[in-house]
Structure 1
Amino acid sequence: MNLGTPFLTTARNQPLDHLATFATSLNATLVTQALEATGTASVRRRKLPAERAAWLMLGMALLRDRSIQAVCNHLHLILPDHTGKTTISSAGLVQARDRLGIAPLKHLFDAVVTRHGREQLDANRWRGLAVLGIDGTTLRVPDSDENRAHFTLPSSGAHRESAYPQPRVVGLMALGSHFLLDLKVGAYTESDSSLSSSFDEHLPDHCVLMVDRGLLDYRRFYRHQQRGEERHWLVRAKSNLVWTVLEILGPNEVIAEVPFRRPARRSDPTRHCALRRQTEFAKNCSRWPWCTTWCVWKWPGWPVTWRSVLYEFRTGSVCC
């Protein structure tokens, strides 16, 4: 799973012909409730009231190749004035967007997750487990003083800075449906691991968490395992990882002991190592002909082929 890919393909896979297209997948009542909860509902009559400004923001997120004026016209959002005209200037649209702010959209996102998140997990379970993934990406945003100060400019080599500020985005996703359960945005200097740390408290029992090697933290995986029942994880192992084989389970599969790094041992002296189940399987990929994965050592006795299929379900687009 590459979080950037859904951002780039959503508009291509979901053509929008009219405002009614949104209504089939997003309850309009949620938009109204978000405006009321954040105190941004329109009081006076406007050509583009707050409710329709919210739909405009949703349309802009999907139709990213079009201007704000083109999106507004495409979705027929402008209410007619006393003469029956349905026109508005680009400046008026920008003002409506600024009046709306980010609070209603954040509230709307949380409301949709609360309403549909559990059913998305339950509808796409794998062997009784909710399949979750964490991954991150970066975005380029307009070059303004505020964005430079908040998101920072990444280095482009030779002591130079990038042309645009770049926020770092990390998401928690239900992999069966690609339903985004949580999202964190931070400065480029923040790591994926630190941004995603708040996800850990909301992970359900009876789940398998899949991450890429950029989020590899065995102490964090241990805490995830200990917080509830039937909590598993799966990650690609790094080539320089050191472990001690304790038991050979079969071809290309062992139970091994992995020591925690020194900083982790200082913060939690009661734990010095953890037991992990290691699986190595062949891949039809010239770049990574073999893929070594680590999972919780108490993983049920499923065959290696099932775990490899599950891993391909998670990271096939990244590895190949």
Structure 2
Amino acid sequence: MDTQCAIVRMPSAIAKVSRPPSNRLVAPLDRRFGERIRLGVLTEEISPELIDEVVELTGCGERRRRLMPARAVVYFVLALCLFSSADSAGPPGYRSVLRTLTEKLRHLPGLCVQRLPTSSALTRARQRLGDKPLQALFERRCGTLATPLTPGTFAFGLRLVAWDGTALDVPDTPANAAEFGFTGKDSVNQSGHPQVRLMALTECGTHALVDAAFDAVAKFSEHKLARRLLASLRPDMLLLADRNFAGHQLWGLARATGAHLAWRIKKNLVFVPLRVLSDGSYLSIMRTPAENIRHGQARAAGRTLAEPPQGHLVRIIEYTVTVRPQAGPPRTETFRLVTSLLDHRLAPAHQLATAYHQRWEIENGFAELKNRLRGAGFILRSKAPELVCQEIYALLTVYQALCALQTRTAEHGGTDPDRISFTVTVQVARLAVAAQAAADAITLAAAHREITTELLAALLPPRRNRQCQRIKKPSKNTFEVRKRDQPRTPSNVRYTLKVTKHPT
């Protein structure tokens, strides 16, 4: 961090007096402001003791006393994600975020007044920390949040959960491009940035992250990443999924966990009815891939196989949904569900179709994570693969802490967590970081009550039936599109200005 001057001078008393304070000022442990950094109202979910535990568990503690100890660096990385969309122009800089964390701490009586580390020093601190402490921290914080009394969380005595995938853009550096890759098979349809595929298992009623897995978008599909989430499924869960996940092998692996399943299936999948039930649904067999080939060949040849097919016994529910908007003609869409809930008396078809509508809550959760917390159109800031993983784990941990704050507020107010505004929750959490930096326990308790009151005062209206077309208004672009293999033109130029003399 210190720079050396090229001109060597004799030491003098004046030079000693006028020399600015060094960043490496050594202060006692209890007098360094780095030991006092917290994350405002989210500290209740991400406590200093928990961070110290995961730092020690992963062996990433500092070997010598630093201005920014490992605990402070963890809080700093979490704050980077909390304040990611605080500025509409782009994510705030390192020193801006650290200044918010420490502005009040650095001027407290009894604490040494120390200069903020430089951006390069903070980058090196992140590199020393690595991604393991943030991964361990997320694994400690992820999980369900709702109770059986939480509205919209249980159906048929089972906790409603859903899984799905999304993609996160990362900076286009050679290291990120080599590690994560791009979507698209050719240069025309290739994504503009390297991407990380994120697969999440969420609790529908609270949007809490039960578990998550991510990896290179070019190497791992949603099906592969879904296998990493199987260990988090429980027998008291009903897993909802979109139509791209239905398959014999993944279905069997998910059912082996004891969880019940309700997945949408494509229209072209053939399920032969074995027995039609009184509610209109029917029992069938989800055949193995080999059985599908055998039955397809027999059907093409006009033959009927006498032996029963091999596979999973399932129940098929078919229904239509008619949408009547205020403007425009009505629209009807057909749905087909495959479920492991075979008893139509315990799980009637109409109620199961209504419960499947909660699968869209994971889409709302992705919108909160990517648009309202990270920032719409923003990319992650890390330019090295290890720091990308560190940042994603920090982003997921902060999001989980915000969901926990919403759930606690909803329980206190006796309302549905859906009515707690995520945007307002992010705003008050950001304001609380600076306001509660130097607060004592009594002040913190009062601040938490004020935040709860503020969130309950900004309740959203009850959830309405809505529709949103998957369309995007194209932007007008008059510039040439730069290809990835096209070298960038140097931006440094020399201007020459010559005044034209007007003829007399």
Same fold (TM over 0.5): yes
1:254 and 2:282 aligned:
yes
- 8 Å CA contact retained: 1:170, 1:183: yes
Structure 1 residue 288: deviation in Å? Answer: 5.7
Comparing 121-130 and 235-244, the one that deviates more: 121-130
Structure 1 residue 78: deviation in Å? Answer: 9.2
Structure 1 residue 300: deviation in Å? Answer: 5.3
CA–CA separation in structure 1 for the residues paired with 2:362 and 2:213: 22
Deviations 1:63-86 (A, max 9, x none): 223322222222227964986144
Partner of 2:139: 110
Aligned match of 1:282 in 308, 311, 320?
A: 320
1:296 and 2:326 aligned:
no
| RMSD of Structure 2 on Structure 1 (CA) | 3.1
1:76 and 2:102 aligned:
yes
Structure 1 residue 93: deviation in Å? Answer: 1.8
C-alpha change, 1:97 and 1:186, in structure 2 (3 Å) is same
C-alpha change, 1:32 and 1:316, in structure 2 (3 Å) is closer
Partner of 1:241: 269
Partner of 1:7: none
Aligned match of 1:196 in 208, 211, 226?
A: 226
Secondary structure of 2:169's counterpart equals coil
Comparing 251-260 and 87-96, the one that deviates more: 251-260
Partner of 1:24: 44
Deviations 1:94-113 (A, max 9, x none): 12211211011011111223
Secondary structure of 1:276's counterpart equals strand
Deviations 1:209-267 (A, max 9, x none): 11112222233223433443xx310111201111111222245422233322239999x
CA–CA separation in structure 2 for the residues paired with 1:218 and 1:98: 43
CA–CA separation in structure 2 for the residues paired with 1:312 and 1:284: 14
C-alpha change, 1:316 and 1:200, in structure 2 (3 Å) is closer
C-alpha change, 1:287 and 1:168, in structure 2 (3 Å) is farther
Query: What code does the residue aligned with 1:298 have?
Result: L
Secondary structure of 2:160's counterpart equals strand
Structure 1 residue 152: deviation in Å? Answer: 1.1
Structure 1 residue 151: deviation in Å? Answer: 0.8
C-alpha change, 1:158 and 1:93, in structure 2 (3 Å) is closer
Structure 2's unaligned 5+ residue stretches are 1-37, 86-90, 295-307, 324-329, 364-466, 469-504
C-alpha change, 1:291 and 1:264, in structure 2 (3 Å) is closer
Partner of 1:13: none
CA–CA separation in structure 1 for the residues paired with 2:42 and 2:203: 21
> Greater Rg, structure 1 or structure 2?
2
Partner of 1:206: 236
**Higher normalized strand content (fraction of residues):** 1
- 8 Å CA contact retained: 1:19, 1:76: no
CA–CA separation in structure 2 for the residues paired with 1:273 and 1:260: 5
CA–CA separation in structure 2 for the residues paired with 1:78 and 1:96: 22
- 8 Å CA contact retained: 1:259, 1:273: yes
Q: Equivalences for 1:106-185 in 2 at 5 Å? A: 106-113=135-142, 117=143, 120=146, 124-155=153-184, 157=186, 161-185=190-214
Secondary structure of 1:95's counterpart equals helix
Structure 1 residue 153: deviation in Å? Answer: 2.0
1:307 and 2:337 aligned:
no
1:220 and 2:247 aligned:
no
- 8 Å CA contact retained: 1:258, 1:273: yes
Deviations 1:130-181 (A, max 9, x none): 2221111111111122211111122264666433111111112222222212
- 8 Å CA contact retained: 2:240, 2:263: yes
Secondary structure of 2:350's counterpart equals helix
Give the paired residue count: 295
Paired-residue identity, %: 25
1:39 and 2:59 aligned:
yes
CA–CA separation in structure 2 for the residues paired with 1:265 and 1:232: 27
C-alpha change, 1:284 and 1:32, in structure 2 (3 Å) is farther
Query: What code does the residue aligned with 2:254 have?
Result: H
Partner of 1:57: 77
Partner of 1:6: none
CA–CA separation in structure 1 for the residues paired with 2:204 and 2:180: 28
Partner of 1:5: none
Comparing 271-280 and 239-248, the one that deviates more: 271-280
- 8 Å CA contact retained: 1:275, 1:297: no
Secondary structure of 1:293's counterpart equals strand
Higher relative contact order (CA 8 A, sep 6+): 2
CA–CA separation in structure 1 for the residues paired with 2:332 and 2:166: 22
- 8 Å CA contact retained: 1:47, 1:80: no
C-alpha change, 1:89 and 1:264, in structure 2 (3 Å) is farther
